[in-house]
Amino acid sequence: MAEIGKTLLESGWLAARSTEVELTGSQLTTTHPPTGPTSPWMEAVVPGTVLATLVKNKVVADPFYGLENEMIIDIADSGREYYTFWFFTKFQCKLSAAQHLDLNFRAINYSAEVYLNGHKMVLPKGMFRRHSLEVTDILNPDGENFLAVLVHPPDHPGRIPPEGGQGGDHEIGKDVATQYVEGWDWIAPVRDRNTGIWDEVSISVTGPVKTIDPHLVSSFFDQYTRAYLHATTELENRSAWVADCSLNIQVATELEGSVCLIEHLQTQHVSVPPGARIQYTFPKLSFYKPNLWWPNGLGKQSLYNVSITVDVKGYGESDTWGHLFGFRKIESHIDSATGGRLFKVNGQPIFIRGGNWILSDCLLRLSKERYKTDIKFHADMNLNMIRCWGGGLAERPEFYHYCDVYGLLVWQEFWITGDVDGRGIPVSNPDGPLDHDLFMLCARDTVKLLRNHPSLALWVGGNEQVPPDDINTALKNDLKLHPLFESHGENALSIEEEDPSQYLDGTRVYIQGSMWDGFANGKGDFTDGPYEIQNSEDFFKDNFYNYGFNPEVGSVGMPVAATIRATMPPKGWQIPLFKKLTNGYTEEVPNPIWEYHKYIPYSKPGKVHDQIELYGIPKDLDDFCLKAQLVNYVQYRALLEGWTSRMWSKYTGVLIWKTQNPWSGLRGQFYDYLLDQTAGFYGCRCAAEPIHVQLNLATYFIEVVNTTSEELSNVAVEASVWDLEGACPSYNVFDKLFLPPKKVMSISELNYPKSESPKPVYFLLLKLYNLSNNSIISRNFYWLYLPGGDYKLLEPYQNNRIPLLITSKTSHKDDSYEIEMNVQNKSEKPDPKILTYKNNFAIRHEDGEFDMASLEPIHDKTEEKQKVGLFQRLYRQFPRETDGSKITEIKGSDVGVAFFLKISVHALKTDNRGGEDTRILPVHYSDNYFSLVPGEEMSIKMSFEVPQGVIPRVTLEGWNYQSEVHTVI
């Protein structure tokens, strides 16, 4: 008997262009199966796309490198047959009597013919459509089975106009597929239009009865002290007799040390007629004070393991299903004070600070490992929402799993975007895809795939557009709220009402478009944006943005120099020309490779003076990218601090366009495709702290933002000003403060710029701390200049050498490393009156509350709270080797601020060739791009994995240390 359950078919695939294969599908899966990667067959990327396979086998160049994408033939020129490919694999499976086997394709693009052991089946069109084929009767008796899939590209791949544009000629919008693939202002065209088996392929063994698409819903009463779990599943009887079933539902929670506590176990008896498919709803399960799921920064992400099994009399276990489930309630309404959409989770208002997301990889080489890094990066930045943009994907369950684990609310759009559905040049078809029924079939299937994830917060019809009337009406009807979730109160579920788990969803609001109903101006006018560099103080001004919730506001995203060298040939290392205009502004003229990679300049002639030029004209690539990081940090910190400064009084939320790039682009990103963070990542991380001290750059008042539901008392703000000579001309403490929950408090005006002789460039260090033990709640470091000035005095400051003392401690298990570094500015002894110099951060616990008595160094917040996560617990069980502490001293004779320090991890190579990229990526840092005033010290934690056999080294560089890199372990 085969084991009940699912087996992934993710290795051993071969691929070949259909025009180069002379055999039929029947022959390929019977008498003439390919035997290996010999022409025309090659190793295939599954899940993945045709282009991903061609790149893997070096048949085409890497489209992410330089201008190589221009050398790859576009489907508009080659014809659809050129990207029509065979995919082949084989698998072992032998069934016993009464067992059944399904062959599952979670998604293909765009249609396919499937051959199994000589038998043909057709997968109909639609990129976001699941396919499950029962193949029990066509398995080979010996257990070896041959599978071949002929995949056809989208029907309307379109053509790329010479001038490019949003979605090319918009033909792709006629299909139910990703729309970015004809190119956008942030990406070049994808030549095969994502053709391929781009998502999971599996086989599933069941007994006579199969469970299909269980639906889990939680409801709450008595101020969230009582909860119910509602569950409905479909059951399909594939036998020729009545199946008497014992249907079991089990809810378990994990305790410390991988021990599970079963909180509920219920068995129901149900009979399913032969050949029938029925829907069964369990009696609701009652919970008292369940552990709740909270968004990132506001509490822990408690997850319960819900499993449903069906046992058939006379057979035994027939099928099993499991899912991690979070008890939480998400509500939203249009706020009367701001006009913005206001979200509540578990009754608590949530100020949204999030980002727009396209997808991990534009060749759809999607993986759990990449998703884990992507989502953890967003949590590391203290964001609490991700918007899945309508021109991209309905994201995969693995994406949602990590959003569940790390606490990222998800705004999921369907496949409509205004550029391809009603406007643009040429003007696009306003009626959406040609096949509206197919769109709705894919939409309903997507809802069933994703609806059990607690992180999923809302459905949106499209990006900057609403779907055609009939689709919009169907979505509104299908995604209508259950009465239990329509009101803001906690009403008991009446006997007459249907169980909420019987709805398609029923628990999340549907919004028709990204600029409607509480987003932008709420009426669909183009009131999102802007998308370019801004004066940092403008974000704080009342006239910067007039509406309560901005779904898209974007800016720059230049990566570090090492990424440019890794993704471009030397011609792409040329920095922009700085062209002086008659109006006094500077225009940046980038090289053609940067232009192809969608570079966005650091100036806006007529509005914003070049922000890199404020630091001095860059000399070379390294200088340019270093100064760009300074701007990235300032720009994104100011953006989020400006929005947060008017929390609830003017705004309910903001989503940054965008957090990352699915290729080697040069705009709108906090980390690059290679997974190296820009300094904007840490500016965002700083600004989006749940409790945060900041400077209002428009008024120069110090503010404290408390986005949590807890009040803070007996706290103080320390404000110290430092000049380039290392002196502290201004020092103030504002003590005995009381910070109410979910409020912005104005503390005091910064007095330094109004003093008799302020320095033209100076540093400001703000700390919010607990008076009882000086533990730091929030720390924020600024570099500032007087009105009308610039940062050019920082150029000669690069020659200063500030002495540092670095203590590092390393622990590792196999290839996984955790390192803690303590960095101290030794240029001056700490002033006795400054009691916070050690930066002992208060630990924020899993429930969102601070341990105000703690004097331990801060832990990485996302790692700390993940002690309850399933995979994190397992990881921490392994014994780890610990190296002794290592002390590194960087000598220097100058006194002052150690400015803009950056830690990075590299592979230690004795035969390193010049210019080789030795970075180890990704690395999760508790902070980076940080500065230390005289006497101050900071503890930085990092975690990463290295390739087998590679020895890592950690290096430190900075504004004062750019000519040399110091190895610290």
- Nearest alpha carbon to residue 463 among 425, 506, 432: 432
CA distance 801 to 893: 6
* Strand duo 243-254 + 260-272: pairing: antiparallel
**Which parts of 581-652 are beta strand (E)?**
586-589
Q: How far is Cα of residue 454 from the mean position of the Cα atoms in its chain?
A: 16
Q: Which of the residues 182, 236, 331, 552 is marked catalytic?
A: 552
Phi, psi of 492 (to 5 degrees): -65, 145
Q: Which long-range contacts (CB under 8 A, 24 or more apart) does 860-863 make?
A: 860/380, 860/924, 860/926, 860/941, 860/943, 861/297, 861/382, 862/296, 862/376, 862/379, 862/380, 862/406, 862/924, 863/924, 863/941, 863/943
Q: Six-digit token pair at 222?
A: 């008595």
SS3 360: coil
CA distance 375 to 399: 8
CA distance 176 to 925: 39
Q: Which residues pair with 509 in a beta bridge?
A: none
Counted residue by residue, the chain has a size of: 969
464 flagged as catalytic? yes
CA distance 225 to 492: 14
- Nearest alpha carbon to residue 902 among 867, 878, 872, 932: 932
Contact criterion met (CB below 8 Å) for 227 and 218: yes
Contact criterion met (CB below 8 Å) for 247 and 267: yes
CA distance 782 to 789: 16
CA distance 53 to 400: 26
Contact criterion met (CB below 8 Å) for 585 and 603: yes
CA distance 451 to 840: 42
Q: Six-digit token pair at 197?
A: 């088996």
- Nearest alpha carbon to residue 737 among 784, 780, 704: 704
3-state secondary structure 495-548: CCCCCHHHCCCCCCCEECCCCECCCCCCECCCCCCCCCCCCHHHHHCCCCCCCC
- E strand or H helix at 439: helix 436-450
In angstroms, what CA-CA distances link 889 with 144, 895, 963? 63, 15, 17
Q: Which residues pair with 287 in a beta bridge?
A: 227
SS3 721: strand
Q: Which of the residues 464, 588, 613, 818 is marked catalytic?
A: 464
552 flagged as catalytic? yes
3-state secondary structure 639-689: HHHHHHHCECCCECEEEEECCECCCCCCECCCECCCCCECHHHHHHHHHCC
Residues catalogued as catalytic: 464, 552
